[in-house]
Amino acid sequence: MYNQSIQWSGRKRTSHGGERRQAAAVRERTRLLQLAVCAALFAAVFIGKGVFPQRLAQLQGELQAVLSSDTDFRAALAGLGESLAGKGPVLEELGSFCVQVFGPSQGEDAVQDPAVQVQAAQDFLNLGAGQAEQAAHYLRLEQAPEAWFQTETAAEAPAAQTAPEAAVPAVGTVVWSANYTGTPLPENYTMDCISLGDLQTVTPVLGHLRSEYGYRDHPVDGEYKFHNGVDIGGQEGDPIGAFAAGTVDYIGENDDHGLYLQLDHGNGIKSFYAHCSKLCVSQGQPVAAGEKVAEVGSTGVATGPHLHLELKWNGLHLNPAYYVEFLTD
Confidence grade of residue 110 (pLDDT, cut at 50, 70, 90): very low
Neighbours of 258 (CB within 10 A): 19
Residue 83 has pLDDT above 80, yes or no: no
Confidence grade of residue 277 (pLDDT, cut at 50, 70, 90): very high
The residue with greater pLDDT, 67 or 36, is 36
The pTM for the full model equals 0.53
Count Cβ neighbours within 10 Å for each residue of 116-135 and write b for 16 or more, e otherwise.
ebbeebeebbeeeeebbbbb
Amino acid 222: pLDDT: 85
Amino acid 120: pLDDT: 72
* Amino acid in the structure at residue 96: S
The residue with greater pLDDT, 224 or 25, is 224
Confidence grade of residue 220 (pLDDT, cut at 50, 70, 90): confident
CA nearest 211: which of 274, 138, 148, 146?
274
Amino acid 10: pLDDT: 45
Rounded to 5 degrees, φ, ψ at 176 are -155, 150
Number of H helices, E strands in the chain: 8, 14
The residue with greater pLDDT, 30 or 6, is 30
Angular region, 290: left φ>0, alpha ψ -120 to 50, beta rest: left
d(CA 238, CA 178): 33
Whole-angstrom distance between the N-terminal and C-terminal Cα of the chain? 129
Dihedral angle of Cα 317, 321, 322, 325, to the nearest 10 degrees: 140
d(CA 203, CA 232): 10
Amino acid 219: pLDDT: 87
Length of the chain: 329
Share of the chain above pLDDT 70, in %: 51
pLDDT in tens, 285-326: 999 999 999 999 999 999 999 999 999 999 999 999 999 999
Residue 270 has pLDDT above 70, yes or no: yes
d(CA 328, CA 174): 27
Residue 198 has pLDDT above 70, yes or no: yes
Task: Specify the 3-state DSSP secondary structure of 118.
Answer: helix
Residue 107 has pLDDT above 50, yes or no: no
Mean pLDDT of 169-183: 94
Residue 143 has pLDDT above 80, yes or no: no
The residue with greater pLDDT, 151 or 138, is 138
Please enumerate in sequence order all residues whose Cβ is within 8 A of that of 125, keeping only pairs 6 or more positions apart, or say none: 40, 44
Amino acid 1: pLDDT: 42
Residue 163 has pLDDT above 80, yes or no: no
Mean pLDDT of 179-195: 95
Residue 85 has pLDDT above 60, yes or no: no
